[in-house]
Chain A
Amino acid sequence: MLRTFNTTIMAFLLAIAFSMIIVLFLPFELHNRLLLTVVFVAPIWLGIALWVTQKNNMKRMLAYLTIALIVMVGLIAARLVYGS
């Protein structure tokens, strides 16, 4: 159960990070990007959660997810600081 919670929360954080990348980087109009993000958060979360479940190797997965999250946070921060 604890593992499921770990995956759930981690996947949710990652999904939100993904969404922020959509908001910041996609070449559409701002409103369109925002609304698309709202629509896609849950499916992205589901995708990550299913993928993690299927790998079934929690330690390695948590490491992957943490690295992915750090990279994304870096990307978002870079865009917020240097972006127009």
Chain B
Amino acid sequence: MDLKKQNKKNGTAVNIKSFTKVHRKVGVFFMPLLLVIVITGAWSLFRAELLQWQFPHFELGESSFQFTSAESKPAPESKPRKSLQELVNIARDEHGFVYSGFSIHDKERYGDFVLFFNKTDGVENMLFMDPVSGEALDASQASFSETVYDLHLKLLLPSSIGKYLVGLMGLLLMYLVFTGFLAHKNIGKNFVQLRVHKGRQIFATDLHKLLGNWSLLFSGLMSITGALLGLFSIVLLVLAMAAYGGDVKALFADFLGTQPKAVGGVADFISLDSLYQLAQQQWEGYKISTIEIHNYADPAMRVTFEGELMNGFITQQHVTYDAINGGVTFVTDFTDKGAGGYMYSALPSLHFASFGGAWLKLIYWFLTLALLLVMVTGITIKSLRLRDKGFSTSDLIVTQLSQAVILAASIAVVFGVVFTELMNPGDYTTLGLITLVAVVYTLMSNKFKWLSSVTIAGWILVLAGIVVAFKGEVLLMALCLTLGLIWLFSQKVGSMVNKANLSSNKQSSTK
């Protein structure tokens, strides 16, 4: 009630203080989890590249089946890629991937690897294959890129629980972004104000507001789309309850069609490459990313092609063929579903940055770095406010965990993509050990006043960036260097603030 009176006195319509209070409390409390999700999300942008950096000995061909047709000639020095049907035959005959229903993922998300995917009784079976030689990744080698993506998608928890948790974190991040935005009086001013010479304390706060405001749209969009993708199944359940009498399967069938059950026996089917050509002619500008195969070689075999229509609006389109006679059995066309169709089908593309090339991913990367800097300067401001009182136990735990997360993420990246021979953080045990080391170091460093974990993380990444520069990996170098420098800069701001705080304490005591 006091707050209300104060606001009335100030003449502000919005209750600013309550926003500030919630922003501080929620922000600090969920920082470690949010950091895990944001950092892994940033690296997941380069999921395909991570895979190739980890396994550089594969000589990979063109990234899409689109270029295997006779008219388009691949570059003379690159070896031609095997056709779709040949790859499926190799997967079945040589690598024992004999499931009757599976999907093949092509294009950017897995780089130039082709991924064969099957899920039976909750167990995911994956086969990464080199499309030129047909050679498969050793199944004992866990891929770092998949672990990073799993962390981002579901925090390595069982699928549904993890997804809901990440979705809820998305909601919270969205809440934080907007309470932060509304917690200030002069919102317009915060877009331009960066007072460098008025004490470092003011500098840190200004930086937090400035970056927060400029990255508002991006962080808001990422958190909204992320939250929706995470909580999608809950929303679907509710919708199915309202519109389909509680039958989620009926809802899916209405959108994606149903596949017939296997009849048994073997039938001759049209080659997957021919079906691919047919699917490409379905829409102009259709970019196929996933091929789903149901009842392989059965008389009831169906092949679904999923992809994006790049016609200004990005929409997810599906087309299913009967593989025996080549007829279309079901088409999901989001362009004929009105505004809802366009908006819904743009969500995943916006979140995964799948509608542009490397440049778009880099832009997303830098915007994510801005978000990370906003989060870390947030903690700096908090620690500044509590400097005289000392941290409460929960704040102390949360801050140290955040530092440990940053350190662990940096160590994991360095071993995952630069020094890949030493250990593989794609393996959960190794990742756990790395995290344990990071936590122990953070505790020790805080007790014995060693170099802070975030500074170490920054230096590790910068050094890794320099090592990678000698290998000629420009993109990886840029990523490591920028992330490392962001951590170092955030610590610089922190130490500057600490120094500045001493003088401001003196000033206040003299006053």
Contact = CB atoms under 8 A, between A and B. Distances in A.
- Size bracket, chain A contacts: 35 or more
Tell me which of B232, B242, B243 has the highest count of chain A C-beta atoms within 10 A of its own C-beta.
B242
A24 B198 CA distance: 57
B18 A29 contact: no
Given A29-B337, A32-B337, A20 B238 contact: yes
B347 interface: yes
B178 interface: yes
A34 B334 CA distance: 12
B29 A1 contact: yes
B168 to A, nearest CB: 8
Interface stretch (B41-49, B338-346, B402-410, B469-477): B338-346
Interface of A is mostly: helix
A81 interface: no
Given A16-B235, A42-B228, A46-B178, A35 B242 contact: no
A80 B25 CA distance: 41
A23 B239 contact: yes
Contact of A35 (B18, B179, B227, B340): B340
B26 A4 contact: yes
Given A1-B25, A30-B243, A34-B243, A39 B337 contact: no
B238 A16 contact: yes
Interface string B134-178: 000000000000000000000000000000000010111011001
Interface string A25-55: 0001111111111110111011001100111
A33 B231 CA distance: 18
Contact of B344 (A1, A23, A35, A54): A35
Contacts of A23: 239, 242-243
Contact of B239 (A8, A12, A37, A57): A37
Contacts of A45: 171
B15 A54 contact: yes
B19 interface: yes
Interface residues of B, number: 46
B422 interface: no
B341 A38 contact: no
A47 to B, nearest CB: 9
Interface in B174-196: 174-175, 178-179, 182
A56 interface: yes
A14 interface: no
A7 to B, nearest CB: 9
Given A1-B25, A45-B171, A57-B1, A76 B242 contact: yes
Interface in B329-376: 334, 337-341, 343-345, 347
A56 B255 CA distance: 42
Find the residue from B18, B178, B239, B343 having the highest chain A CB count within 10 A: B239
Contact of A39 (B4, B26, B254, B344): B344
Contacts, number: 116
Nearest to A24: B242
A59 B269 CA distance: 66
B3 interface: yes
Contacts of B462: none
Contacts of B170: 42
Nearest to B181: A50
B235 A41 contact: yes
A1 B398 CA distance: 14
A64 to B, nearest CB: 16
A54 B178 CA distance: 12
B1, B334, B343: residue with the most chain A Cβ atoms closer than 10 Å: B343
A16 B19 CA distance: 24
B224 interface: yes
B444 interface: no
A46 B239 contact: no
B26 to A, nearest CB: 6
A35 B239 CA distance: 10
Contact of A46 (B174, B236, B238, B255): B174
B239 A34 contact: yes
A14 B185 CA distance: 29
A75 B14 CA distance: 31
A35 B171 contact: no
Contact of A20 (B234, B242, B251): B242
A30 B244 CA distance: 11
Interface string B479-503: 0000000000000000000000000
A76 B22 CA distance: 33
Contacts of B26: 1, 4
Nearest to B334: A35
B343 A36 contact: yes
Interface in B221-248: 224, 227-228, 231-232, 234-236, 238-239, 241-243
Given A38-B228, A39-B228, A32 B239 contact: no
Interface of A: 1, 4, 8, 12, 16, 19-20, 23-24, 28-39, 41-43, 45-46, 49-50, 53-57, 76, 80
8 contacts: A1-B25, A16-B235, A35-B334, A35-B338, A42-B227, A46-B175, A49-B175, A56-B3
The 8 closest A-B pairs by CB, nearest first: A35-B340, A32-B338, A36-B340, A35-B344, A56-B18, A32-B340, A23-B242, A31-B337
